[in-house]
Amino acid sequence: MTSEQGKGTGFTLEFPLVSQAGLDIARERQVERVIGVVLTDNHSMINLCRKLGFYSVGSSVCGEAEMRIDLKGC
């Protein structure tokens, strides 16, 4: 583990929509759905996504899970 792991640095740099503020902006811009791919062993990111309302639509043999949140009508 590097000194930056577990601090949310990658989350902040690579996944700006995976925050309440990011989702609020997406809603304002009338985005209907946000889809992301997360490594299945990245439990912190999967838990964060679930807390924000994302749901998993399955995982692949490559160790990736597709996470979605539907914003239409929210």
pLDDT digit string (tens) for 44-60?
889 999 999 999 997 77
Tell me what pLDDT residue 13 has: 45
Q: State the pTM of this model.
A: 0.70
User: What distance, in Å, lies between the first and last C-alpha atoms of the chain?
Assistant: 38
pLDDT in tens, the chain (74 residues): 455 555 554 444 455 667 888 888 888 888 899 888 889 999 988 999 999 999 999 777 789 999 999 998 75
The domain tally of the chain equals 1
In a domain, 37, yes or no: yes
pLDDT value at position 74? Answer: 59
What span, in angstroms and rounded, lies between the C-alpha atoms of 23 and 8?
17
Residue 63 lies in a domain: yes
Q: Which domain holds residue 13?
A: 9-70
